[in-house]
């Protein structure tokens, strides 16, 4: 059984389509860590495509915001404009799907899934100091998280936390992490629709428990086409520009 692990799609249907095309036939079932919508120009297409994959899925903070489950006052001004635009664009059926997504953490198939942190779905895990609590407290050895839009994660073994950074070569490529017994992991597939780790390609992972591997993938997509749709939608300029920078 191989799991396609998706996170932070952020209403970018072009990136999602490119990712799905690149790994066609290479997975059996889908796990999704939330943030289907917001920032990007395709909230309906992104939601419909994810829904059609019948994933095991949890919500992200942007799904909550668009569904009206959190106050937009917590968002910065640019994020607020995007969330308001998304709220106007999203169709009732898609809004209903977004609004009913469960909160993490949930544990299935021997993994735990969270959007942000094990202890708080909205908390960011960027550095080892932020990862230690989740590494120790997660109910399973392997936990998947999103939210930071940084591909990679953390490993804990014998009292030490190590940073895991994956750097797939140019093109649609992946690098393999071999999971080791006696080690606990917090792993982030990266963001499909708005990567922020310096690599603008769509990021995701494929998890293979039978072989104890995680493939960290990067797939190029037509960024200019997405930027064009964002311009037509009058979405904030910094959100348009950051797609090309991957920051």
Exposed / middle / buried, residue 229 (Cβ in 10 Å: 0-12, 13-18, 19+): middle
Number of residues that bind Zn ion (CB under 5 A): 2
Shortest approach of Zn ion to residue 130 CB, angstroms? 16
197 binds Zn ion (CB under 5 A): no
At CA 190, angle to CA 109 and CA 89, rounded to 5?
A: 100
Q: Where does this chain touch Zn ion (CB under 5 A) — which range of 29-37, 164-172, 199-207, 234-242?
A: 29-37
When binding is defined by CB under 5 A, the residue of 8, 121, 199, 215 that contacts Zn ion is: 8
In this structure, are residues 115 and 33 in contact, taking their beta carbons and an 8 Å threshold?
A: yes
Distance CA 205, CA 190 (A): 8
Shortest approach of Zn ion to residue 34 CB, angstroms? 8
In this structure, are residues 75 and 65 in contact, taking their beta carbons and an 8 Å threshold?
A: yes
Shortest approach of Zn ion to residue 158 CB, angstroms? 32
* Between 8 and 215, CB nearer to Zn ion: 8
Distance CA 121, CA 189 (A): 16
SS (H, E, C) 123-157: CCCCCHHHHHHHHHHCCCCEEECCCCCCCEEEEEE
* Between 68 and 110, CB nearer to Zn ion: 68
In this structure, are residues 145 and 114 in contact, taking their beta carbons and an 8 Å threshold?
A: yes
In this structure, are residues 106 and 138 in contact, taking their beta carbons and an 8 Å threshold?
A: no
Touching Zn ion, residues 168-187 (CB under 5 A)? none
Quickly tell me which residue has 């930071």 as its tokens: 148
* Between 35 and 199, CB nearer to Zn ion: 35
C-alpha closest to that of 222 among 5, 37, 16, 2: 16
Contact mark string toward Zn ion, 199..228, x via CB under 5 A: ------------------------------
Shortest approach of Zn ion to residue 8 CB, angstroms? 4
Q: Where does this chain touch Zn ion (CB under 5 A) — which range of 7-15, 51-59, 83-91, 163-171?
A: 7-15
Shortest approach of Zn ion to residue 138 CB, angstroms? 20
When binding is defined by CB under 5 A, the residue of 35, 63, 121, 215 that contacts Zn ion is: 35
Residues binding Zn ion (CB under 5 A)? 8, 35
């Amino acid at each position: 059984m191989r799991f396609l692990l998706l996170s932070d799609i952020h209403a970018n249907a072009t990136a999602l389509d490119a990712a799905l095309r690149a790994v066609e036939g290479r997975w059996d079932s889908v796990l999704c860590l939330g943030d289907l919508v917001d920032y990007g120009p395709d909230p309906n297409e992104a939601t419909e495509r994810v829904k059609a994959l019948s994933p095991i899925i949890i919500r992200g903070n942007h799904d909550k915001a668009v569904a009206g489950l959190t106050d937009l006052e917590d968002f910065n001004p640019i994020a607020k404009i995007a969330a308001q635009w998304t709220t106007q664009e999203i169709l009732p059926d898609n809004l209903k799907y977004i609004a009913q997504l469960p909160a993490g953490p949930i544990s299935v198939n021997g993994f735990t899934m969270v959007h942000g942190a094990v202890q708080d779905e909205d908390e960011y895990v960027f550095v080892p100091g932020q990862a230690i609590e989740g590494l120790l407290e997660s109910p399973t050895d392997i936990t998947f998280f999103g939210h930071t839009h940084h591909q990679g994660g953390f490993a804990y073994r014998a009292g030490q936390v190590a940073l895991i950074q994956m750097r797939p070569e140019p093109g649609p490529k992946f690098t393999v992490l071999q999971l080791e017994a006696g080690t606990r992991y917090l792993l982030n597939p990266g963001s499909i629709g708005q990567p922020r780790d310096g690599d603008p390609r769509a990021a995701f992972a494929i998890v293979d428990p039978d072989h104890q591997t995680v493939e960290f993938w990067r797939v190029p997509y037509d960024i200019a086409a997405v930027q064009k749709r964002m311009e037509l939608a009058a979405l904030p300029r910094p959100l348009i520009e950051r797609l090309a920078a991957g920051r």
